[in-house]
Structure 1
Amino acid sequence: MLTKQQILMFEKTLLELVSAIVHQAISSKQLLFEFTQEILTKNRKGLWKQIGDQINASQIEVHDFYFNTWSLQFYEDCNQYKDEIKLIFQQVIISTSDYKLAIQQSIQTFLKEFPSNRCNERKIYQMLYQYTKSNHKQYNVKPKAKQQSLTIFENYAFQKAVNTKLEQ
């Protein structure tokens, strides 16, 4: 978790580094966000380490702050689409027993059906996850390696644990 001082230094540091990378003065937060997204699309992961080194924070803290806090100011509130997103998910989950796949397909369907929206995909994912969790909806998922039936939440926890181990 970044301190208040680190948060204040974050944007200034991001601006300096991104300006140096794109060799251009950046005049607004919106442009800073757009250039940063472009840089990240090109897979420049070292950006978080550089910022972290300058503000005395870990690259994980900087990464998480960027995606979970700072960048959200450039997206619209997806709650206005909550009913549509849930309806899409309800339709998609019928045709698949894979929870993660159903959420991904629901997000892609939503983005196609509402192309003018400016919603954050991560927020849509979180909305769908909370929706299924709060409604106690459990879908049986059968992993290929084992023929044991897992609830959707057990499968999600297993996949998250495997991904965490792979990232380390």
Structure 2
Amino acid sequence: MWKTIFDDALFQYLASNTGTTPTSNQHMYQLVQQQYRTRGIWLQIAQQLNITQTQAHDYFHNTWVKQFYAPFDTYKPQIRDIVARLSQTAIDRFELSVKALEVFEQAHPHERFHAKSVQQFIHQTYQKLANTSQNSSKENSVHVQAKEESTSGDISKYIVFG
């Protein structure tokens, strides 16, 4: 699979296009950050791996770079709490996402997290809260409606004969 040789393709590109021989994955990451404005990096790597330019770009930014960031799995309950607290205020989803990331990063100033992954988790958490809130309000309205209708005394419309 091409992912297993991604490092080699990236190394070869950087060694031939930067005039520097990378010494580690961290060094390759730094060189890519410096070379990012150079057009064609992902196209050349993609051609070497026989994949699309988008696949090469996305794999680098969404997967490969995560090796340089602290995992945040153990902090997910804390992030859920932050999102729950912030969702109580009247801010939109974008503002909530930015604010939640800010609060989380301030709580862990000595850790470096992959911001895009944390933001995706914040967004997913917000969506789950919003869906749960909508479902619970729908259930409450159904119960209220059923209670109001049952007090009218006419239950014939609720009886179904098979």
Counterparts of residues 18-167 of structure 1 (less than 5 Å): 18-40=14-36, 43-44=37-38, 46-135=40-129, 136-137=131-132
**Cα contact 2:83–2:126 (8 A) shared by 1:** no
TM superposition outliers: structure 1 runs of 4+ over 4 Å: none
2: CA distance, partners of 1:88 / 1:45: 39
Shift of 1:78: 0.4
Tell me the distance in 2 between the aligned counterparts of 1:45 and 1:92: 40
Conserved in 2, the CA contact under 8 Å of 1:86 and 1:128?
A: yes
Count of matched residue pairs: 133
**1:112, CA displacement in angstroms?**
3.0
Matched to 1:34, the amino acid is: Q
Cα deviation digits, residues 50-76 of structure 1 (max 9, x gap): 211222211111112112222222222
Q: Does 1:9 align with 2:28?
A: no
Q: Which ranges in structure 2 are unaligned for 5 or more consecutive residues?
A: 135-162
TM-score scaled to structure 2, two decimals?
Answer: 0.68
User: Following TM superposition, by how much is the alpha carbon of 1:100 offset from its aligned partner in structure 2, in angstroms?
Assistant: 2.0
Alignment RMSD (CA, Å):
2.4
Aligned to 2:155: none
**Take 1:117 and 1:32, find their aligned partners in 2: how far apart are those partners?**
21
Q: Distance in 2 between matches of 1:80 and 1:15?
A: 32
Shift of 1:116: 1.2
CA contact (8 A) 1:75 1:119 kept: yes
Structure 1-normalised TM-score? 0.66
CA change 1:103–1:26 in 2 (3 A) is same
Which residue type is aligned with residue 12 of structure 1? D
Paired-residue identity, % = 23
Closer/same/farther in 2, CA of residues 101 and 44 from structure 1, 3 Å limit: farther
Aligned equivalents of 1:79, 1:44: Cα separation in 2: 34
Cα pair 1:96 1:102 within 8 Å, conserved:
no
